[in-house]
Structure 1
Amino acid sequence: MKNCHLRKYFQKIMFTLLCVSLASCQAEAPLNTYKINGLSLEASRDSLLPIHINRIKAVNANAVSLMPFAFLRSTNEPELIFNADRQWFGERKEGIEHAISLLHQKNISVMMKPQIWIRGQFTGDLSFKSKGEWKEFETSYREFILLFTRIAAENDVEIMCMGTELFNFVKSRPEFWKKLISEVRKEFKGKLVYAENWDKVDLVSIWKDLDYIGVDAYFPINMEAAPDVEKIKKGWQIHKNMLANLSKDFNKPVLFTEYGYRSVDYALKEPWDSGRENYITNYGLQARALSVLYEEIWPEPWFAGGYLWKWHQDESAGGLENDRFTPQNKPAENVVKEYYRKFRN
């Protein structure tokens, strides 16, 4: 028991020292350029409360992504299940409407970001064997998107995301997407985006019909366990150049519909990895990687901002023994707070 207390005491000291160190390295003068300083808010079983919004405001976030989910049991059952009673409150119509109202009261903008979950399969590889199955899936996907489009329109949501990491669907069914985007435009007067995975973002053709180029930005940056700042900066350059050129080609700003890192060794090798294997915790790397990202990407004129993955309602979420993506109660939280302060309007 004594060793446990000593370990926690030591962790608290290290947390404080690292936060002070990171904060002292950041420029004091705030920038005048407005950016979307967003958080991806995990849907919960219960209602969002004002205290949860206060924690979001405390890190200087000015935007939140809300993520209603639809479920596909398998590609042999192509009808989506969504807005079902057994889903969490935060994933259903009532929960989404409740969250929008509270966030807008606190002057936090909202992106509606519907997502699909498929048992045992990555959504980007989604495919069906027959035209009939594609049609059945498209009918339910259209209903899914239009339901939350109408909620977004009725509640003055700022950004509507047309889908998340659906490369094969977008590539294989271009006429469906063109028609769906047109339908959404008629009902929703805000901005439109689609969220493509980092490795396919330059292969998507629908950017011309949208307002942002949306990227789930889990770019591989460095292969080492704990690279320093200069190595992280170097690793960003190829991706940064690609994004700048993509923005120029389509004359659209880039929006990181998701971005973030786990607090583990090798977090920049495959940043998308969310496996549950045993990892060595490294909250310093998470903080360092976010600092470099903000320094390298946020000031760029072609960049609109992004939504950090991910933020939980629970005040005790994260912590120094947590190896997941959240920055909460880790040195990374202070990094987010300081950089979002620089870029807030």
Structure 2
Amino acid sequence: MRTSFAAASLFVLAAAAPASATVAAPNAAPQGPTAWADASRGGIRGLTIGPIESLRHAGKGYGSPASGRAMDEAKALGSTWVSLTPFGRVWDLQPNGIDLTFEAPFAENRANVLHAMAQAHARGLKVFLVPHLWVETGGWRALIDPGDDAAWERWAAAYKRFLLTWAEVAAEGGAEMLSVGVELRSFVTTGRAALFYPIIQEVRRVYPGLLTYSANWDDAEDTLIFGELDLVGINAFYPLADKDGAGREALLAGGRKVAEGIERLTAMWGRPVVLTEIGYTTRKDPAIRPWEWPDGMKDVTIDEEAQALAYEALLAPLLDSRSCAGFFVWRYYADPDDVSQEAAWGFSPRGKLAELVLRDAFTARWAADGPAILGDNLGRHRARTPGFFGWELSPPLF
């Protein structure tokens, strides 16, 4: 009998088109909404490990000894995958090219990302490579609009060069999964998607692993390219309630609604879903507008318990879903000791109560893991102390 994550959680608080891909990847997931679980691949227990986004922090980014410590912590937490997020720069929302340099020269960044992949693999962690676009003047990448047809063709060519560059890195480093884009709404939910299909085919020629795309949560059902990919990917910053002060039961109801939407998507595309980003900031009511960026917040009330409860409410129903292959937590950093990357009310669950929920979730048995082995859950421990990764026995459940 599979242990219920909701029951085992520390926080008992008053707590479109058919598939059409023609170039099959050697690692391609079997098709079907529950194919991941059917193949017993093991649920994706993922952490996003972000780069150190400043040259003032030399020696602390991807591939550094600090990055190795981050991988050690991911492993101790119970992760089986890590997500790495290199960036390319565009100037504004009408770009005509992509600069591969981000904080460090591209050749240096490329080598560092490859080293970080090797660090992950040395620890038995699988790697998900997720190339992002950074808009230098501000604005959301989802709203990129180069202009007329000719401008869009130039943009598609530039994006293809950018993506193929990182696909080659993913192939060289043996990354197990690659995202072909992140929140590119104007590109992949409109008629412009016709320009994206040939890009995916080119990626298939240089990269043999699993492909997904990281759709924003509110346009995943409108994304047109999932039939060309192996998994439906969602940056899953879904609101779990519609008003502040929502209690545990209301948030759990919101989590069940999210799970139902995921089931619809898997049925629509005949592929499992992976949540390419999930996360909550450490503040009051983080599940109401979870996409809000911490840098712009003022007069914040830090609330670790609210962050932890939001994670529990989202994850509890998903761990019972055979259609959800897993998720990636947004986010930890390449130097786990560098607290300069975000405010205390930021997304990172490291050393907070939410870390305990994640450790419980990572050590639970998931429907996505496939058929259970007799005795698989016997002696399962429960996380009790943030930052302490030793064995802590659970009290009897009965």
**TM class, shorter-length:** 0.7 to 0.9
Retained in 2: the 8 A contact 1:67–1:91?
A: no
Between the aligned partners of 2:106 and 2:318, the Cα distance in structure 1 is 35
Does residue 74 (structure 1) correspond to residue 92 (structure 2)? The answer is yes
Retained in 2: the 8 A contact 1:167–1:196?
A: yes
Correspondence for 2:127: 110
Matched position secondary structure for 1:61: coil
Correspondence for 1:272: 291
Retained in 1: the 8 A contact 2:9–2:360?
A: no
Task: Give ranges in structure 1 of 5+ residues lacking alignment.
Answer: 1-20, 27-31
Between the aligned partners of 2:169 and 2:83, the Cα distance in structure 1 is 14
Retained in 1: the 8 A contact 2:45–2:328?
A: yes
Correspondence for 1:157: 175
Correspondence for 2:10: 23
Listed as ranges, the matches of 1:186-335 within 5 Å are 186-274=205-293, 275-316=296-337, 322-335=344-357
After TM superposition, the structure 1 stretch with the greater mean CA deviation from structure 2, 63-72 or 91-100, is: 91-100
Alpha-carbon RMSD: 2.5
Structure 1 residue 48 displacement after superposition = 3.2
Structure 1 residue 163 displacement after superposition = 0.2
Between the aligned partners of 1:197 and 1:155, the Cα distance in structure 2 is 27
Correspondence for 1:63: 81
After TM superposition, the structure 1 stretch with the greater mean CA deviation from structure 2, 108-117 or 293-302, is: 293-302
Retained in 1: the 8 A contact 2:93–2:143?
A: no
Between the aligned partners of 1:124 and 1:71, the Cα distance in structure 2 is 14
Between the aligned partners of 1:75 and 1:120, the Cα distance in structure 2 is 8
Deviations along 1:164-193, one digit per CA (max 9) or x if unpaired, are: 000111124222211011111122111100
Point out which structure has higher relative CO (alpha carbons under 8 A, 6+ apart).
2
Aligned in 2, Cα 1:77/1:160: closer, same or farther, shift over 3 Å?
A: closer
Between the aligned partners of 1:87 and 1:179, the Cα distance in structure 2 is 30
Does residue 145 (structure 1) correspond to residue 163 (structure 2)? The answer is yes
Structure 1 residue 261 displacement after superposition = 0.5
Correspondence for 1:12: none
Does residue 34 (structure 1) correspond to residue 57 (structure 2)? The answer is no
Structure 1 residue 308 displacement after superposition = 0.3
Retained in 2: the 8 A contact 1:161–1:192?
A: yes
Normalized against structure 1, the TM-score is what? 0.85
Structure 1 residue 23 displacement after superposition = 3.1
Between the aligned partners of 1:77 and 1:193, the Cα distance in structure 2 is 24
Correspondence for 2:364: 342
Matched position secondary structure for 2:178: strand
Aligned in 2, Cα 1:72/1:22: closer, same or farther, shift over 3 Å?
A: same
Amino acid at match of 1:117: W
Retained in 2: the 8 A contact 1:43–1:90?
A: no
Amino acid at match of 1:69: F
Between the aligned partners of 1:51 and 1:62, the Cα distance in structure 2 is 15
Number of equivalences: 319
Deviations along 1:33-72, one digit per CA (max 9) or x if unpaired, are: 8210101111125343232221111111111111110111
Retained in 2: the 8 A contact 1:72–1:80?
A: yes
Between the aligned partners of 2:365 and 2:89, the Cα distance in structure 1 is 36
Matched position secondary structure for 1:290: helix
Correspondence for 1:3: none
Normalized against structure 2, the TM-score is what? 0.75
Matched position secondary structure for 2:104: coil
Aligned in 2, Cα 1:301/1:98: closer, same or farther, shift over 3 Å?
A: same
Between the aligned partners of 2:87 and 2:308, the Cα distance in structure 1 is 29
Task: Give ranges in structure 2 of 5+ residues lacking alignment.
Answer: 1-7, 14-39, 53-57, 370-398
* Overall identity of the aligned pairs, in %: 24
Retained in 2: the 8 A contact 1:193–1:211?
A: yes
Deviations along 1:141-174, one digit per CA (max 9) or x if unpaired, are: 1111001101111222100100000011112422
Aligned in 2, Cα 1:288/1:318: closer, same or farther, shift over 3 Å?
A: farther
Between the aligned partners of 1:300 and 1:265, the Cα distance in structure 2 is 28
Aligned in 2, Cα 1:283/1:24: closer, same or farther, shift over 3 Å?
A: closer
Amino acid at match of 1:325: F
Correspondence for 2:70: 52
Matched position secondary structure for 1:128: coil
Between the aligned partners of 1:91 and 1:279, the Cα distance in structure 2 is 37
Structure 1 residue 112 displacement after superposition = 0.8
Structure 1 residue 92 displacement after superposition = 2.0
Structure 1 residue 122 displacement after superposition = 1.0
Amino acid at match of 2:249: E
